[in-house]
Structure 1
Amino acid sequence: MFMYLIAIPIYAQQEENRPKYDLIIVRDDDLIDYITVLPYANLLKVPVLPVNPQKLDEKTWAQLYSYIQIGWKKILIVGNSNAVSKEVEDELLKMGYSVTRIGGDVRTETAEKLAVHFYPQGSKTVVLASALDYGSALAASRFAMEYDLPLLLTLENDLSEHAVAGLKHLQPELVVLVGTGLNETIEAKLRSMGYETYWLGKNVEKPPVSPPEEPSPYRYSLIGAIVSLAIAVPITLYWAKKKWYSNKIPVEVLTEKERIVVKALIEQGGKVKQEDLPELTGYSRPTVSRIIQELEKKQLIEREKVGKTFIVKLVKEIDLKE
């Protein structure tokens, strides 16, 4: 019987050294990578997007491009190039994302690399499940999410070399085994290696771990706002893909009013006084000012102050053909 609880505090140093991402991408034809990365997505409070492992379809491409518009920059791809192709990675890079890939030749190696990546300072407790029993792996993932713990996967009848390597890096005191997909020899081997063990679903005692402290309700307010914006962004970029790769900015990234202002700029040779735009577009000065600010945010124009007015310059080529 366990006579103690191992607390799981969130160390400031661990938080500081932990990598940050805006989005995690996994293959959509095999659940194991999705299951394995869930604890870390929960840790960072970021979404996981399953995609076609060979090539991004147009709807997914458009949605990913819309995320760029709201400031998402860093993507983590889970799995090697056999899991998510190099072509998908190249498409993300062309959109402007910073891409990190973590994956191994087998799922146990991917789990090891993810655990070490997100827990560079180690962890007092590690969760372990079978790489082949998806039900147990999902339960283990849920437990790891609840207690902010790293997740390792192993073979059913023996500790995988990658699970052993992960334990060596993480240096836990306790290993929580989850599900019936593991052989009892694994628990015996763990104990012979000096680890304390608890078998969730087998032991009747309460798990000897404590959940992390509840974060401030304001901690993730910004992330929540960004996610809300992402949901609200309409997928108006459906046909933008081919135009984007021709090095022209597709018209679909512009609102109707922005298109009229851009058209006026193009007709004036790409440069015009801001004070002339109301007459050229039919919009009021305040409306023109707001549109100019939005175009600046999209880095499509620049303004240069000349005397008492601004000269508005188009700095990127825009394809107005829909």
Structure 2
Amino acid sequence: MAISLERLNAAPRLIIRAELVPIAGRRFQPTGFPDLGAAEYDHPTEPYRMLLVESPQSMANRMEKVCWDEAAKDWRPPLKGLPRVDVYDQHGELLTNSVLEAHRLNSPYILESKDTTVMDLLKRELGLLGESLPVDVSKLARTVFKYDPNAVLHGLFLAKKELAGGRLRLARLLSAFIEAEDARVAPNGGVKNDRVNPTGPTNQGFGNVPFHRDEYVARRIDAYFVLDLALLRSYGLGDIAETFLILFALYKIQHFLDEGLRLRTACDFDVKHVEVLRPARFQLPTADEIDRELPGLIERLRAEGLFAAENLRVRYDVKS
């Protein structure tokens, strides 16, 4: 393999920081939360405010978005052949899959369907675990890796009583977030103009409607990426599987930084600088280098039986 991962062999974490700057101007729009709005908080040691620009949950979804070709309804070319669970309706039309679903394999379209294909497979391969028995996390990781390797990186909670009393969980291997230092509100606003009836009833969508909006400026904006290598090794998946998952994680990071930084209409970033914080002197491979390595690893994992030969299919009847 052309890419050297030797410096990661004894490291507990791979930590990457990317400094970002707004692609135009200085203002940007952070993520918002119900009943909270923008997530501001005090810096623990400095006399200024911090701001959560993008949450770990959102970043996980955004890093998967750069893996998926929406037009082709399939993985992007370097990832073609990765196993997943596809969900079809009663007419044979593709509804969704375990990559796109919010809870991955735990999607109600997969585990709450009358089609019990995946539930039966999990029971069979994991064993009918009683509620009082310890969970074999390694066996769970191997099984999930075989049928939906993306969920091993993303993390998974199989919240079904029939499966070990709802205790089957894989912690997130790859985590990320974006935060801003010394963040300050940049208030602005506008008006929705009605060129026909400016004084019409605004509760029906008519009339001129002024609005207020808060954007932000910041001294510095950083994206952080953390890959838990110690947890990955604890699964006992083997060298090839570990190498694949590391490169898959790096694929997500590099392609997100290359093409996924338009987070919202008023939140679009460029990368100013990328550095590996831990382990020291690890050379981050480029997106092109990773793209060249992944297809061969996918072929090898399938040939050795560590990947399922075909995607699992589930039928979910949609009510008309």
TM-score w.r.t. the length of structure 2 is 0.26
Return the index of the structure with the highest Cα Rg. 1
Higher strand proportion (structure 1 or 2): 2
Q: Pick the structure with more helix per residue.
A: 1
Larger relative CO (CA 8 A, sep 6+): 1 or 2?
A: 2
